[in-house]
Amino acid sequence: MFIGITGPRFVGKHTVAKWLISKHKFTLVSLRDGSHIVKDEDGIFETPKKLLEYVTKNWRRNFVTCNVETKEILELYRKRPFFFLLAMDGPVLTRYKRYRLL
């Protein structure tokens, strides 16, 4: 299974991903942030297409990503029958309080 988590900032996407990883043995996969140079780190991919190729080759394993940020990425991922999109939202005041904790 491949779960993509989407939603506004500070809604708890990474908290849900961590729960899936710790309780259900999912593996986190993500896109490389252009501001950081990381070499050969497992689970980090240059493009959504490369990420999807990896997940497709390993389709029997469970993966989760929080990098479903555009319609184009969603359209790419949703072609796979084992993809599930989890859209999250939360109260603005709660999200603001989380932001202030940074």
Phi, psi for 88 (deg, rounded to 5)? -110, 150
Report the pLDDT value the prediction gives residue 79, as an integer from 0 to 100: 92
Cα angle at 4 between 7 and 100, to 5 degrees? 35
Instruction: Give the pair of three-digit tokens for residue 100.
Output: 């202030």
| Dihedral pair phi/psi, residue 20, rounded to 5° | -60, -40
The pLDDT, as a whole number, for residue 40 is 46
Q: CA angle 47-59-41, nearest 5°?
A: 45
pTM (2 d.p.): 0.87
* pLDDT at residue 34 in the model: 56
Q: Give average pLDDT by consecutive 10-residue segment, the chain, 102 residues.
A: 97 96 97 60 89 96 96 96 97 94 88
